[in-house]
Amino acid sequence: MVIGKAAKYVDKADALDHVAGYCVINDVSERAFQIEMEGQWCKGKGCDNFGPVGPYLVTADQVPDPQNLKLWLDLNGDRKQDGSTATMAYGVAHLVSYLSRFFTLHPGDIISTGTPPGVGMGQKPPRFLKAGDVVTLGIEGLGEQRQDVVDDI
């Protein structure tokens, strides 16, 4: 979600009033940074080209129920993740309200809500992205993305 109006100590009942709209974000993770190195997992989220946003910002008034959107991810044409925002651990309103207790959310701030089951690390055996892979993902009504994985070393 993208914040449209500043939010600080917002009640859950009013939280959606602070959302400008919704978009697709590929919540990419560098697992070696997260698992093999000490510290917080956030260091595996901020690598170059991670977290692509778009292709659209769909305004909140065009999304009647942000907790009822189908989402998917295909790897090389094979469906790996298939889910719905209905199964989110915490809904959009809760996230805005909760985060606004710790810091002010400003217009333009983006909250990435996570991903459905099926991440590569959870596969048996684990499957990590490699150069040449093609990732396609989308959310119903919000658009689709495609990333071609390259070796950046």
How would residue 151 be classed by pLDDT, with cut points 50, 70 and 90? confident
In this structure, is residue 153 part of a structural domain? no
How many Cβ atoms sit within 10 Å of the Cβ of residue 135? 18
* Range in 45-49, 52-56, 104-108, 127-131 the model is least confident about: 45-49
Q: What is the CATH number of the domain that holds 16?
A: 3.90.850.10
Cβ-contact 43, 73 below 8 angstroms? no
Domain that holds residue 117: 2-148
Q: pTM, whole model, 2 decimals?
A: 0.85
Q: Is 13 within the bounds of a domain? A: yes
Other C-beta atoms closer than 10 Å to the C-beta of 81 total 16
The number of folded domains in the chain is 1
pLDDT of residue 36 exceeding 90, the answer is no
* Segment 120-126 mean pLDDT: 70
> Is 99 among the domain residues?
yes
- 149 close to 38: Cβ distance less than 8 angstroms: no
β-pair type (70-75, 58-59): unpaired
Model confidence at 122, pLDDT cuts 50, 70, 90, reads: low
Question: Residue 46 has what pLDDT?
Answer: 58
